[in-house]
Amino acid sequence: MANAEKIAVKELNPGDKGSGDLYRKREHIYQRHISGFFQTLRIATIWITLGLYFILPWFTWDGRQAVLFDLPERKFYIFWFTFWPQDFLYLSWLLIIAAFALFFFTVLAGRVWCGYTCPQTVWTTFFMWIEYITEGDRSQRIKLDAQPWSLNKGVRKVAKHGLWLVLAFWTAFTFVGYFAPVRELWFDLYDFNVSAWAWFWLFFFTAATYTNAGWLREQVCLYMCPYARFQSVMFDRDTLIVTYDSPRGEPRGSRKKGADPKAEGLGDCINCQMCVQVCPTGIDIRNGLQYECIGCAACIDACDHIMDQMGYPRGLIRYSTENVIEGKPSKILRPRLIGYGAVLSVMIVLFLAVLLNRVPLQMDIIRDRNALYRETFDGNIENTYTLKIMNKTQEEQEYVVTFSGLAGAIPRMPDAIRALPGELVNLPVTVEISPDQLQQRNTTVYFTVEAKSDPSRQVTEESRFLGPR
């Protein structure tokens, strides 16, 4: 080991070239406003998602807020459904479905979620639209930031940040309105009678929205979102992604309008940089697939617009696959996509079937743990149970409890019980039987709870009846 050749090590200062992106200073992105088919589609999805978010808490259903997650009362209202903490399984199931849906659409079409419906993208796009109407397009914003402070610059900046704060606060107010009755919250806010916790969450989500959508923007997608990092493991060469057709576009170069690129030894790309200027993350899609690309297709609309002006065919930048760009066969249906789709379809169908056939009634049976059985004064064998019956409806219910599974047994319990909305009733039950009629030491027995108002609302649970050997 003493004669081993040493490897030369060169120390790098943080500012040296080659020290990596860890110390790279952020460059402000001035995104150019662009219109086109995909941007119209994005705007439509943004208005739909924002509209649902802001309007949904104001809907009423059966005299209450249609969507309300009442944490103090442990009730979660979603239109005609009422969920309780015991229904946490549905939430877990729904999250698993969402994960498989993300896998399916990522394998199929890349980061369409990020480009069209991700909350960070939706709110950032809205914030950038506010920036556009207050400060102008890309070139105007660059000039404005380069100018010294003046009345015009101050008014524009104040207007922009003021509208940002209004939208951020309204976002926070709506979010809190999902967990507290939104109409009561509105009047409490008007009277400055909001609780300390409500004020905390209002300010917290206002600051978070204002910071993420107004200041951090693409930094959230590049450095904070884990999806940007692991998306590549779900891509393959047949995944539909935003792609630059390099064989057609190279070599790139400027030329006069209507010039024949082949005659000048050039490709169709005129190197106008429009695809870079409209990108919300500031990348050059011509460098190939990059994790920073969120699949928003702004570069497609920009490039198609330039191609129209030059008289060239559209599609230099388009949704395509790596195999198609390289002239290889490509197929949409492939084993992994079919697998994700099949699992996702089965889980959705089962989830809807279980949810729609859900009985708003729950019963748990607890046997007496102090004694396996008891002998009564007249020589019978007795078992004691506690039935925990929960009314998951929003109306008072009257229930009838029946016993089965052990011939000759005599259950001792009330003829009927009443339960208020959301009430958990503890019902003690004793079952006794003559030793001569007890055929085995361990017998499976059943308790059934049925609502008098609706016989279809019934739950049956099993327990054990134990006796001497």
| The token pair that represents 343 in the structure block | 């699992």
Q: Are residues 380 and 426 both part of a single domain?
A: yes
Q: What's the CA gap between 103 and 340, in Å, rounded? A: 7
Q: Are residues 64 and 213 both part of a single domain?
A: yes
Q: Are residues 30 and 164 both part of a single domain?
A: yes
Query: Which is nearest to 134 in space by CA: 105, 110, 158, 166?
Result: 158
Q: What's the CA gap between 359 and 346, in Å, rounded? A: 22
Q: Domain for residue 349, yes or no?
A: no
Q: Centre a 10 Å sphere on the Cβ of residue 390 and count the other Cβ atoms it contains.
A: 18
- Tell me the one-letter amino acid at 239: T
In the prediction, which pLDDT does 21 show? Answer: 52
Whose tokens are 């004691």? That residue is 384
Query: What DSSP assignment string belongs to 328-348?
Result: ----S--HHHHHHHHHHHHHH
Q: Centre a 10 Å sphere on the Cβ of residue 437 and count the other Cβ atoms it contains.
A: 12
How many domains is the chain partitioned into structurally? Answer: 3
Q: What's the CA gap between 290 and 296, in Å, rounded? A: 13
Q: Domain for residue 164, yes or no?
A: yes
Query: Which is nearest to 69 in space by CA: 83, 51, 59, 58?
Result: 83
| Structural domain boundaries enclosing 308 | 243-325
In the prediction, which pLDDT does 228 show? Answer: 77
Whichever domain contains 461, its CATH number is: 2.60.40.10
Q: What's the CA gap between 297 and 35, in Å, rounded? A: 11
Cis peptide before 251 (omega within 30 of 0): yes
Query: Which is nearest to 168 in space by CA: 201, 132, 207?
Result: 207
Q: What's the CA gap between 34 and 277, in Å, rounded? A: 10
In the prediction, which pLDDT does 371 show? Answer: 84
Collapsing DSSP to helix, strand or coil, 36 comes out as: coil
Q: Are residues 251 and 227 both part of a single domain?
A: no
Q: Domain for residue 4, yes or no?
A: no
The residue from 273, 301, 325 where one domain ends is 325
Give the strand order in the sheet containing 67-70.
67-70, 75-78, 81-83
In the prediction, which pLDDT does 24 show? Answer: 64
Q: Are residues 249 and 394 both part of a single domain?
A: no
Residue-wise burial string across 22-46, b where 16 or more C-beta atoms lie within 10 A, e elsewhere: eeeeeeebbbbbbebebbeebeebb
- Burial label for 119, CB within 10 Å (0-12, 13-18, 19+), is middle
The residue from 232, 263, 295 where one domain ends is 232
Q: Are residues 164 and 78 both part of a single domain?
A: yes
Q: Are residues 140 and 198 both part of a single domain?
A: yes
- Tell me the one-letter amino acid at 296: C
HSE (side-chain half, CA atoms, 13 Å) at 57: 23
Q: Are residues 207 and 255 both part of a single domain?
A: no
Q: Which residue pairs from 155-164 have beta carbons closer than 8 angstroms and sit at least 24 positions apart in sequence?
A: 159/134, 160/130, 160/131, 160/134, 160/135, 161/214, 163/130, 163/134, 164/127, 164/130, 164/210, 164/213, 164/214
Q: What are the per-10-residue average pLDDT scores of the chain (469 residues)? A: 46 44 74 94 93 94 89 86 84 92 91 92 95 95 94 96 97 95 92 90 96 93 84 85 93 90 92 95 91 93 95 94 88 90 95 88 89 88 93 89 91 89 90 89 92 88 89
Q: Please, are residues 400 and 450 in contact by the beta-carbon 8 Å criterion?
A: yes
Q: Domain for residue 18, yes or no?
A: no
Q: Where are the alpha helices (DSSP H) in 191-294?
A: 196-209, 218-219, 227-230, 246-249, 274-277
> Given the DSSP bridges, would you call strands 67-70 and 75-78 parallel, antiparallel or unpaired?
antiparallel
> Given the DSSP bridges, would you call strands 317-320 and 410-412 parallel, antiparallel or unpaired?
unpaired
Q: Domain for residue 260, yes or no?
A: yes
Q: Domain for residue 86, yes or no?
A: yes
Q: Domain for residue 65, yes or no?
A: yes
Q: Are residues 220 and 316 both part of a single domain?
A: no
Q: Are residues 292 and 165 both part of a single domain?
A: no
Whose tokens are 């009257």? That residue is 398
Q: Are residues 227 and 252 both part of a single domain?
A: no
HSE (side-chain half, CA atoms, 13 Å) at 246: 10
Q: Are residues 410 and 442 both part of a single domain?
A: yes
Q: Domain for residue 2, yes or no?
A: no
Question: 130: phi > 0 → left, psi -120 to 50 → alpha, else beta; which?
Answer: alpha
